[in-house]
Structure formats: structure tokens, C-alpha cells
Amino acid sequence: MRRLINAEIWRDGGSLSAVVEADGGRLEAFWLQVAWSKDLKDRWHENLYVSDGSDPLQKTRQVEIRSEQEDELMRMLIVTDVTNSDAEQRRVFAELVQVLRARHRPKADWVQAPQSADLMVLKRFNGDELYPIARAEWNLYEDSEYGLCNLWISIDADFAVSQQEDTVILNGQPKWEVNWIADRMAISELIPGFRREIPNGYVERREVTRHTNFYYTSHEDTDDNIIEIVAVDGDRLKIRLQGTTIDVNHYDDSKPRTKIAVETWFTHHPEGRKTIA
């Protein structure tokens, strides 16, 4: 399997590069040329260039935008392993692949992540997988039926920008919901330092059983859940969320459990409610 060696964003306005090691140790360098823009947040990209070796600045071969060749290279990059890469390299590589993937979406999907989105990381037994976060929302409300307070946290992720070969055919867009249920909870408690644990996603509490739901190709509980608030900006919460679930491609529980990790800003959705029974 291919392995990510390096990924960088350049000071020319935001060109992106990646160096990948193929089977046999052969290196390939990729350069995604930025178009001129006034603001990094509004930049867009032009052609992809490919070179042999470790220097992306060589730009040996130009790839036509939205061509079959670009599509093939994008699919190859998606199965590049990033398990041993640091967070910044993952972020840059994810953005490069995301640009290419957006050019080859067959239709408007029900969920599509913005460019430079934060990532949902699935740490599987055979390596890490990265999924850009399309939507992250929270709400705190009182469940009048049971007289309980519920902190509802929901995440929708886009197609993978890096995944292992065995899940490519599944074409998954993960969705994760976590509910912290308590007798009382005030919104004033939702400040940096807030931390709650849900060891088991399925637990009896006044007829409420399922507190978590992770959907990839089927609905599964998540255990070992930890909710941490790391920052607050108005009604936005930056939440670090982690948990474990059954492997997304081995539902017979024959493989070690997958660890899920998210850290991103959640927007307040006042109508958000628990969707699982």
C-alpha cells in the first residue's frame, strides 16, 4: 500500500503538495497549483502535476482537470496510508485529495464537507482513515417525556480522503450521534473543562437505552465515549470527542475495535434531538 511521506501548503497563496511512497520504495510527488486569490480561505486550485522522485516543484507532467487520469490518480491517493503522518501533514493531504474528489463527484450528495474541513479519524486495526466533517451540531434540551436533560451531539462526515483498501468498496459517509443524559444540566456548564464519559453506548436509564449511534454501513453503538469541551465562541462549542466501535468492515467482531476521534467546532442547532430509541 502507498504511504504518505510528506505534505505541505506553499507560500504562493496555497498550492498543495504531497510526496508518496509506492510499492518497492518508488517516490511520486504531486503538486496542486493554486489560482491567485486575495484570501487563503477563498482560494481555488487549478491543475495537478505529477513528478517522479521527492521534489514536487519539478511539475513534470500536467494532468488535465476532470480527466480520467485525474480521477485515477485521485483514487490512488485515497488509498495512501497516513497512519504515521503528523496532524498537519494529514490536514494538508486531506485538502489536496478533497479538491480532486470534489471534481469527480457523480452527483450532489446528501452531505458534502467544505474545503479544509476538520477530520473524523477512524483508527482501525489495519491503519487510520480520514473523513472530512461536513456537519457538526449540538443542542441541550429537556426531554419532557422522561424528565431528563439531554446534551445532543451529532456529526456527519463526507467520503474518505484517506482509507484502507478494504473499505473503498463500501463508499461510506460516517454519521455519529452521542447523547449525554442527566437529571439536570444547565447551559452555563458547557465551558472549557467540561468532560463527561459514557463507558457503554447501550445502558438502561428510565427506559432510555441507546445513548450513541455510529453509522457507516449499519447502525452500531459506540463505547468508551469521552466528551470534552475545549473552547467556546458564542453558541459554538469546540468539542473533542472520542469513542470505540466494532470495525466498520468486520461486523462479526473478529477484529480489534475501531477508535473514533473528532475535534471540531459544533454549531448550535436548537431543534436537534436524540434520533435513536
Cα–Cα distance, 167 to 149 (Å, whole number): 37
- Phi first, then psi, for residue 169 (nearest 5°) are -65, -20
**Residue 253: its pLDDT value, please?**
87
Domain segments of the chain: what residues? 2-103, 119-268
**Residue 208: its pLDDT value, please?**
64
**Which residues pair with residue 6 across a beta bridge?**
19
**Residue 206: its pLDDT value, please?**
59
**Which residues pair with residue 18 across a beta bridge?**
7, 30
Cα–Cα distance, 148 to 142 (Å, whole number): 6
> Which of 211, 97, 218 lies closest to 158 in space, CA to CA?
97
At 174, the amino acid letter reads: P
| Grouped pLDDT means (10 residues each) for the chain, 277 residues | 95 94 94 80 87 97 98 97 97 96 79 90 97 97 86 97 96 95 94 96 71 94 97 98 96 94 98 87
With contact defined as beta carbons under 8 Å apart, do 263 and 241 qualify?
yes
Cα–Cα distance, 157 to 106 (Å, whole number): 18
**Residue 39: its pLDDT value, please?**
63
**Residue 266: its pLDDT value, please?**
98
Total Cβ atoms within 10 A of residue 231: 12
Region for 20 from its dihedrals, namely left if φ exceeds 0, alpha if ψ lies in -120 to 50, beta otherwise: beta
